[in-house]
Amino acid sequence: MTLPTALILSLALTEALELPLLYLLGFRGRQLTIALLANVLTNPPVVFLRFIASGVLRVPDWAALLVLETAAVLVEAVVYKKAAGRPRALLDSLAANALSFSAGLAISAFIH
Determine the pLDDT at residue 94: 98
Determine the pLDDT at residue 106: 94
Q: Which of 111 and 92 is assigned the larger pLDDT?
A: 92
What is the pLDDT confidence band of residue 108, given thresholds at 50, 70 and 90?
A: confident
Q: CB-based contacts of 71: which residues, under 8 Å, 6+ apart? A: 42, 46
Q: Residue 112 half-sphere exposure, CB side, CA atoms within 13 Å?
A: 7
pTM: 0.93
- What pLDDT, in 10s, does the model give residues 41-100? 999 999 999 999 988 899 999 999 999 999 999 999 999 999 999 999 999 999 999 999
Determine the pLDDT at residue 25: 97
What is the pLDDT confidence band of residue 1, given thresholds at 50, 70 and 90?
A: confident
Determine the pLDDT at residue 68: 97
Alpha-carbon 34 to chain mean position: 14
Q: CB-based contacts of 87: which residues, under 8 Å, 6+ apart? A: none
d(CA 94, CA 89): 8
From first CA to last CA, the distance across the chain in angstroms is 10
Q: Count the domains in the chain.
A: 1
Determine the pLDDT at residue 112: 72
Domain range holding 12?
A: 3-111
